[in-house]
Structure 1
Amino acid sequence: MSTNIYVEAQMLIRKPIEEVFEAFTHPEITTQFWFTRSTGKLEEGQTVTWEWEMYGVKSDVKVHQIIPNRQIKTEWGNPAVNVDYEFKTMEKGTLVTIKSYGFAQSGEDLLRTVNDNTGGFTTVLDGCKAYLEHGIKLNLIEDKFPQK
């Protein structure tokens, strides 16, 4: 049973919508600010595997829908949740909103998951902004939980 709770993170990225959308669908770009390896580009109806090599973690990502330069609807994680990426042209760039919902957890587990999702997607958007706007690879995901 999933809850009605959802997580939302957003960020204005001062680049054209086509460039920002491409950053989330093409792993050559996404690996510069999020995961370290992918089995392929996001395409509607396909499943790709994202990997965070520094943590030894992988996740299968099912792509349910892609509306170019507007929306990507996926399902991934363990337990799996829906994660939607929305793109909106603004006067100064592109607003990216990431929404995560369909959580199966409850109580303290749900609170921990909501917190992790909020922080995680905020970090992704921060890294994307730095990379696309300034060409800076901040290594935020790698440094979030540094190995000793």
Structure 2
Amino acid sequence: MAIGFRVAGRVSGPVGEVFEAVADPDTISKYFTTGGAKGRLESGSTVSWEFHDYPGAFEVDVIEVVPNERIVLQWPAYEAEPHNVSGGGQDEGADADYKTTVTMTFREADGGTMIEIAEEGWRDTDAARRGSYGNCQGWSQMLCCLKAWVEHGINLRDGMYKA
């Protein structure tokens, strides 16, 4: 069975503005990649994304960019260990030795922009399935953060993961 997911949301803003909020490293660093993003999302490039709540930067391979329509990325697959209920805290896991593919599509919808994010390519294992669940949560939150930033200039991730 192929493991993957799709999440979607609508942002009140023109497609070009919403697309730029994802493609531009300075803007995405303000609401999502809280440790910073280095490099613009352009076909054939490799960029770096870092998050304050997750140690280390991720290399992200940009496979394809069609301005205002689609962004296709590949990055290290994440596989999570079972949650230790008695220990609390987040699941432990590690980047695996393969990559998953993330496809973001942008289209005009009701005077705003509908964004769909799909990620696929995990192995068919329990650890990979748990990793996909975590990434699904992360991309869902990214859509919420993008909406709050574009529509209101608010960074929802600020302080979200402090213990």
Give TM-score scaled by structure 1 length: 0.88
| Contact map agreement 1:43 1:66 (CA 8 A) in 2 | yes
Any gaps of 5 or more consecutive residues in structure 2?
77-94
Letter in 2 for 1:21: F
Letter in 2 for 1:69: N
- Structure with max Cα Rg: 2
**2 CA distance for matches of 1:133 and 1:53?**
23
Matches within 5 A, 1:54-69: 54-69=53-68
Match of 1:22 among 1, 20, 23: 20
**1 CA distance for matches of 2:119 and 2:42?**
19
Structure 1 window deviating more from structure 2 (20-29 vs 34-43): it is: 34-43
| Contact map agreement 1:33 1:138 (CA 8 A) in 2 | yes
Question: Which protein has the bigger strand share?
Answer: 2
Displaced runs of 4 or more, over 4 A:
none
Any gaps of 5 or more consecutive residues in structure 1?
none
The answer for the alignment partner of 1:146 in structure 2 is 162
The answer for the alignment partner of 2:48 in structure 1 is 49
The answer for the alignment partner of 1:120 in structure 2 is 138
Match of 1:86 among 61, 82, 105: 105
Identity %: 28
Deviation at 1:110, TM superposition (A): 2.7
The answer for the alignment partner of 1:12 in structure 2 is 10
Deviation at 1:54, TM superposition (A): 4.1
| Contact map agreement 1:7 1:117 (CA 8 A) in 2 | no
3-state SS, counterpart of residue 44 of structure 2: coil
Aligned length: 142
3-state SS, counterpart of residue 32 of structure 1: helix
| Contact map agreement 2:70 2:106 (CA 8 A) in 1 | yes
Give TM-score scaled by structure 2 length: 0.81
